[in-house]
Structure 1
Amino acid sequence: MSEDRPTLPPVRLHSEAELARDALAAPLLTRAVRLARWAGPKTRVGAGGELVDEQLPSAAEELGLGGADGDGPAFASEAWRIAVDTGLVEAQDPQEDDAEYGTVGAGENLALITAGGPQDILGIWRDALEAVHADATAPVLADLADAIGEDGEIDFAALDWDPEAESAFLDGVLGNLYLLTVTEGGAGEEPVPLPALAASMIVPDDMGEPTDDVLEQVSEAMMRLDDQFRLLEPIGLVEYRPMDAALMAEEGGAGDEPVPPVDDEDVTRYGMVKLTPLGLYGIRARMREAGIDAPAVGDLADKGADALLDGLANYPELSARAETEQWLARRAVADAARELLAAARGTDAGAPLRRLHCQQALTLVGPQAEPAVRAVLDDAELGGLARVWLAERGATDVPAPSEAMIFWLAIDTIAAQLDAEGEVEELQDLVEGLVGRHSGFFEAAWRVEHPATAEVLEAMGRLHPDKRAAKEARKAAFKARSRAGG
């Protein structure tokens, strides 16, 4: 059986047009665009392209965030940095030697906001995401201030800050959140508690009750993640419910760190986060740039039937159906059926699962596939699934299968299920049913000319609840191996 599985399940992304609309609606990018359009010949910037302090109040007014009072200038400064980093504005050096400030002009990407396509918009948004990600993994301002020496230089050693480690930790958290979101049976549309995310990066899998030291590390990580998700939410990456500020006082004083909760009723107060559809797109893009295999539903739609059936081996059920529907939508039914059946043949280890996915794909097509299906009725590998397909559609002139075909199909089906799901309870029911319906099943099964016969019989010996039947299965597996070896 094939043991190769990708690190991540396929994600079901929204269309590029929908994602581009979400990107333009992200509060931080919206503000950056407004400031880029607001900037003019009299706009003054510092050496790093930042707005000078005197212009921040008017920039905040432009954004509807008030003037010099409150957090408006800080939000305006943040939005301006995004406008610079994404090429919406372009800082220009002073034109004269004695000039104190530089000026700005429209960046080449500003026109793309209205004239560009979805890919252009998403490219600008990804640049914004990278800038925000860098801000989120930067040193805490208080620590940064403490690390400034008498000469005005930053003592990075005193910061105890490792930029690569900080970035890797946040990427790991976002990767875990992505995995929870795309895995069927995972979080899906539900937000994830912040303590669970922090613990996923710190608590070892084999640890029973976390130690006090580990709990303290989790608490510290939660506080850092709370700050980071507050930064990542305005760019549209996540929906975040921040930690309850009252928790600090409840835990015994403003200086105490919070402890991960054990009361399910209180867990939401420690922060809840979920990736948005745009966030799924963004995290996948970052992972792919890092060389991580992060497939998406639709990746196989333009490929051949062989690539489809092999690729579906790595897909959960719902994703496999969605991928198959997209593949079928681009082909005529008769042509698709012929391609699928041809690709399902083979005696390699992955062939049984290909045939299973072929059979599942054929359930999605109409009667136009019937000639292609009838053409393989006499095929040793495909004749069984062809009969099943025809019978399910009420065909009455289907030739009865031979006993050899019945047993070959049974072995092939179990081999495919083992490859897809492992030895699960549903497969145990299938094994019981097969053995119960066919007297002398194992005596006939060990003679089946199928590459997986011995392996399937050994699995049946482990799965069958009846000790006598399980023993017969093991004996049949030994005979099958002896015959194959001889």
Structure 2
Amino acid sequence: MTGDRPTVPPVRLPSDAELARDALAAPLLARAVRLARWAGPGTRVGAGGELVDEQLPEAAKVLGLVDEESREDGEAYASEAWRVAVDTGLVTVEDGDTEDGADDGTTGRVTAGEQLALLTSGSPQDILGIWLDALDVVFADATAPVLDDLAAAIGEDGEIDFESLDWDPESEAEFLEGVLGNLYLLTVADGGGAGDGASGPVPLPVLAASMIVPDDMGEPTDDVLEQVSEAMMRLDDQFRLLEPVGLVSYVPVDEALMEEDAGGAADASLPVGEEDVARYGMVRLTPLGLYGIRSRMLEAGVDAPAVGDLAAKDAHALLDGVAHFPELSARAETEQWLARRAPADAAGQLLAAARGTDQRAPLRRLHCQQALSLLGAEAESAVRDVLDDPELGGLARVWLAELGARDVPPPPEPMIFWLAIDTIAAQLDAEGEPEELQELVEGLVGRHGGFFDAAWRIDHPATAEVLEAMGRLHRDRGVSKEARKAAFKARSRA
């Protein structure tokens, strides 16, 4: 009893306004903005739009990066920020040739880009769009060949011989996308994410191993461990580049490890629980990073839902949508949906959407019951309206009993067994056959003598399948046999 599930669990994100503030505060974008506001027609750039070397000291000064001890670093940061400003449209570089063809000493003329004004007059979505463009620039940098490789590939003519590089741009990009995808999954897997800060940093060895070590491998071989170590070192460089754009919070690999390790690489076999695991690198997606990776996933056609996507949709879409959400995410999504509606109206819509004999109906009813548990006495009239409904009367009585309502009529016996079948069918769809379901089955059979003799007669689409599952789950052989016989009778009756 499986349905179509989202490719990845839902993520909880802050509002667009909060994310836009984070984007503007990202060091790299903030530097690009400052340079864009500083630049003008007199700013000298090269043929590719880059700042000429003579301009870099002044640009670094504008950014407050004038420490003599790190002058080269300051100019490198300024150069990087300028390229982001150009590639995101914060500045525009036009051909600098004069009308008469004379050389005016520049190769390009700099003007303010259209995107620059959006930072103050645009919407949060406009700002996030600019930030996503900046992320694309940094991502391209992170997947480019390392400088040492580039230096070795420069020929006598001064041109880079890309064919001589051991570098496949598509593979590099695919690997980093995969790493960031795994980091995203680890962050949202249990309903975590930006909404609660519950997800902690991930050790770099774990992240590298998730891409290298096969799932069915027991003890990694030395060759695999070496590959993990090499991946760690590459990821260390890449996360150092991705942190200034606000994508991740990163604790780099301790450089002292390089000196301690005779082989020149960190030992990826270190157990995660060791006290000094942080020395091997720790990375965490920021809320802005979760937004960024989700945006890239959506662009690639991946189903990557976010909590709140269903808030404006109807009750049927809500109950189907949260069917396989983690518990915390399902509750958060349901709370946002309920917040937009009056309790009585919400209850009526949920109950109407919970009806049905299709395969997903039991799970819809389970989530309907969980949604109703978030409502108070204002919903009582809507719930009482379905007391005589054969599909909803049982869950209505449960809700009213939990509310402490009076004058709740006792359920007829067929309704009791129908609700039991429906509940187990929903649990099977939601969780498969976990240990908790085994306890539910054994407790149910123990409380109701002759359970199977009555259950196989229940007119529920999942009766036979549920009885078969109960036979597998119950640890008493005699009871299991009785369940299988009941399942056979149910199929014959159908």
Do residues 257 (structure 1) and 265 (structure 2) align?
A: yes
Residue 61 of structure 1 contacts residue 67 of structure 1 at CA under 8 Å; is this kept in 2?
A: no
- 1:86 aligned partner, one-letter code: T
Of 140, 143, 160 in structure 2, the residue corresponding to residue 137 of structure 1 is: 143
Instruction: Name whichever of 43-52 and 465-474 sits farther off.
Output: 465-474
| Distance of 1:347 and 1:82 partners within structure 2 | 56
Instruction: Name whichever of 83-92 and 229-238 sits farther off.
Output: 83-92
Residue 58 of structure 1 contacts residue 67 of structure 1 at CA under 8 Å; is this kept in 2?
A: no
Do residues 386 (structure 1) and 396 (structure 2) align?
A: yes
Which residue in 2 is equivalent to 1:373? Answer: 383
Which residue in 2 is equivalent to 1:95? Answer: 97
| Distance of 2:225 and 2:164 partners within structure 1 | 25
Of 411, 417, 420 in structure 2, the residue corresponding to residue 401 of structure 1 is: 411
| Distance of 1:40 and 1:355 partners within structure 2 | 63
| Distance of 1:60 and 1:479 partners within structure 2 | 82
Which residue in 1 is equivalent to 2:450? Answer: 440
Deviation at 1:461, TM superposition (A): 1.0
Which residue in 2 is equivalent to 1:77? Answer: 79
Residue 353 of structure 1 contacts residue 417 of structure 1 at CA under 8 Å; is this kept in 2?
A: yes
| Distance of 1:158 and 1:186 partners within structure 2 | 44
| Distance of 1:272 and 1:284 partners within structure 2 | 21
Local SS of the residue matching 1:326: helix
Deviation at 1:99, TM superposition (A): 3.6
- TM-score, normalising length: structure 1: 0.97
Local SS of the residue matching 1:365: coil
| Distance of 2:27 and 2:406 partners within structure 1 | 62
Local SS of the residue matching 2:92: strand
Note the 1:428-467 alignment, pairs <5 A.
428-467=438-477
Do residues 167 (structure 1) and 160 (structure 2) align?
A: no
Deviation at 1:185, TM superposition (A): 7.4
Do residues 107 (structure 1) and 113 (structure 2) align?
A: yes
Of 397, 402, 427 in structure 2, the residue corresponding to residue 417 of structure 1 is: 427
Deviation at 1:155, TM superposition (A): 1.9
Which residue in 1 is equivalent to 2:22? Answer: 22
Deviation at 1:120, TM superposition (A): 1.0
| Distance of 1:290 and 1:13 partners within structure 2 | 20
| Distance of 2:116 and 2:191 partners within structure 1 | 42
Note the 1:298-317 alignment, pairs <5 A.
298-317=308-327
Q: Name the count of aligned residue pairs.
A: 482
| Distance of 1:24 and 1:454 partners within structure 2 | 58
| Distance of 2:264 and 2:340 partners within structure 1 | 60
Deviation at 1:259, TM superposition (A): 2.0
- 2:348 aligned partner, one-letter code: R
Give the unaligned 5+ runs of structure 2: none
- 2:96 aligned partner, one-letter code: P
| Distance of 2:171 and 2:344 partners within structure 1 | 54
- 1:54 aligned partner, one-letter code: E
Residue 132 of structure 1 contacts residue 232 of structure 1 at CA under 8 Å; is this kept in 2?
A: yes
Local SS of the residue matching 1:45: coil
Deviations 1:244-268 (A, max 9, x none): 000011112xx62222042422321
Residue 345 of structure 1 contacts residue 382 of structure 1 at CA under 8 Å; is this kept in 2?
A: yes
Note the 1:252-291 alignment, pairs <5 A.
252=262, 256-263=264-271, 264-291=274-301
| Distance of 1:135 and 1:249 partners within structure 2 | 27
Local SS of the residue matching 1:235: coil
Local SS of the residue matching 2:301: coil
| Distance of 2:166 and 2:73 partners within structure 1 | 29
Deviations 1:215-244 (A, max 9, x none): 111111111100000000000000000000
Which residue in 2 is equivalent to 1:8? Answer: 8
Local SS of the residue matching 2:109: strand
Deviation at 1:343, TM superposition (A): 0.6
Deviation at 1:67, TM superposition (A): 6.1
Deviations 1:323-353 (A, max 9, x none): 0111111111111111111110000110000
Give the unaligned 5+ runs of structure 1: none
Local SS of the residue matching 2:244: helix
Deviations 1:414-459 (A, max 9, x none): 0001111111111111111111110001111111111111111111
- 2:470 aligned partner, one-letter code: M
Which residue in 2 is equivalent to 1:116? Answer: 122
Do residues 156 (structure 1) and 142 (structure 2) align?
A: no
| Distance of 2:332 and 2:105 partners within structure 1 | 59
Cα RMSD for the two superposed structures: 1.3
> Against the structure 1 CA distance between its residues 317 and 304, is the aligned structure 2 distance closer, same or farther, given a 3 Å change threshold?
same
Deviations 1:455-475 (A, max 9, x none): 111111111122221221111
Residue 372 of structure 2 contacts residue 399 of structure 2 at CA under 8 Å; is this kept in 1?
A: yes
Instruction: Name whichever of 465-474 and 348-357 sits farther off.
Output: 465-474
Residue 463 of structure 2 contacts residue 487 of structure 2 at CA under 8 Å; is this kept in 1?
A: yes
| Distance of 2:181 and 2:79 partners within structure 1 | 29
Residue 446 of structure 1 contacts residue 476 of structure 1 at CA under 8 Å; is this kept in 2?
A: yes
- 1:51 aligned partner, one-letter code: L
Residue 297 of structure 2 contacts residue 303 of structure 2 at CA under 8 Å; is this kept in 1?
A: yes
Which residue in 2 is equivalent to 1:31? Answer: 31
- 2:65 aligned partner, one-letter code: L
> Against the structure 1 CA distance between its residues 186 and 330, is the aligned structure 2 distance closer, same or farther, given a 3 Å change threshold?
closer
Local SS of the residue matching 2:116: coil
Deviation at 1:3, TM superposition (A): 3.6
| Distance of 1:111 and 1:396 partners within structure 2 | 63
- 1:71 aligned partner, one-letter code: D
Residue 67 of structure 1 contacts residue 73 of structure 1 at CA under 8 Å; is this kept in 2?
A: no
Residue 191 of structure 2 contacts residue 327 of structure 2 at CA under 8 Å; is this kept in 1?
A: no
| Distance of 1:147 and 1:3 partners within structure 2 | 52
Do residues 204 (structure 1) and 210 (structure 2) align?
A: no
Instruction: Name whichever of 318-327 and 96-105 sits farther off.
Output: 96-105
Runs of 4+ in 1 over 3 A off after TM superposition: 185-188
Residue 316 of structure 2 contacts residue 354 of structure 2 at CA under 8 Å; is this kept in 1?
A: yes
Deviation at 1:482, TM superposition (A): 1.7
Deviations 1:361-388 (A, max 9, x none): 1111122211211111111100001111
- TM-score, normalising length: structure 2: 0.95
Residue 250 of structure 2 contacts residue 282 of structure 2 at CA under 8 Å; is this kept in 1?
A: yes
